[in-house]
Amino acid sequence: MSTIPQKTSYLTVIVPVYNEEESLPRVFSKLSEFINLSTKSVNILFVNDGSTDNSLQLIEQICNKNGEFHFISLYKNQGLSTALKAGIDIIESPFIGYIDADLQTSPMDFNKLLDYCESYELVTGIRQDRQDSNTKVISSRIANKLRRWVTNDGVSDTGCPLKIIQKDSAKRIPFFKGMHRFLPALVLLQEGNVKEVPVSHFERIEGEAKYHLWNRLLGPFADLIAFSWIKRRYINYTIEKSDQLTLHHTHASDAI
């Protein structure tokens, strides 16, 4: 499996994109600003999730002209969880970030999360003073309460689209459709630690929201069933000792 060029990148930020041609010029501008002012070295990975507008063409133009920007394009639209998994599968930098292309959160707030990322397997934002409709805020609160009741993850805003996760933890996450709603709970299943950090929230300026009342409530309910099944059957282990012959044999087998 190919990986994106890492250079000296400390953090690679995944930006899932589905029909965001109106947002992409501003996304590029804001991410470039973050790269220049970041406390760490940064790469960006666009994951085009089967867009049917001009998003892919704009992404290709950005990546061809800017060395810190890379992309992969999925054959068809498969949803946010698939886009995240596709990105995580090819990233090899020690830390992996995630932000939505609607820019309702600020890339500059990654610097707040970076302060904690070496001490916590997952650092996630808590949206302050949310700039969403009442319907969206209420449905999100209902979904969060239901999720906390089932997962007991103690996270107040799992839907915040601003996160940093340690690569090794990200690679071990069991993926399924709707997985993105359970990242904190899935990290806790690995006996990892989760930190929430307050971040800014903004009104969507360009484009249209891809999620509405129907898929913000019914979708999470179905995904809770999947998570409950995984939680009861999740396998978690730590290798205490190994000899070099065993390690060499394992790597050789992987390469075949």
pLDDT, tens only, 18-73: 999 999 999 999 999 999 999 899 999 999 999 999 999 999 999 999 999 999 99
Q: Residue 172's closest CA among 157, 188, 161?
A: 188
The alpha carbons of the chain give a radius of gyration, in whole angstroms, of: 18
Residues in the chain, total: 256
Instruction: Quote the CA–CA distance of 114 and 24 in Å, as a whole number.
Output: 24
CATH topology of domain 11-255: Spore Coat Polysaccharide Biosynthesis Protein SpsA; Chain A (3.90.550)
Type of residue found at 70? H
Residue 182 CB partners (closer than 8 Å, separation 6+): 147, 151, 153, 158, 223, 227
Is the separation of the CB atoms in 138 and 48 below 8 Å? Answer: no
Give the start-to-end residue ranges of the domains of the chain. Answer: 11-255
Q: Kindly indicate the confidence band of residue 249, based on its pLDDT and cuts at 50, 70 and 90.
A: very low
Which pLDDT belongs to residue 118? 96
Residue 87 backbone phi and psi in degrees, to 5: -70, -50
Q: Kindly indicate the confidence band of residue 204, based on its pLDDT and cuts at 50, 70 and 90.
A: low
Taking each helix axis as running N to C, give the angle between helix 134-151 and helix 213-233, from 0 to 180 degrees, rounded to the nearest 10. 10
Burial level of 2, CB count in 10 A (0-12/13-18/19+)?
Answer: exposed
Q: What is the pLDDT of residues 62-121, one digit of tens each?
A: 999 999 999 999 999 988 989 999 999 999 999 999 999 999 999 999 999 999 999 999
Is the separation of the CB atoms in 204 and 130 below 8 Å? Answer: no
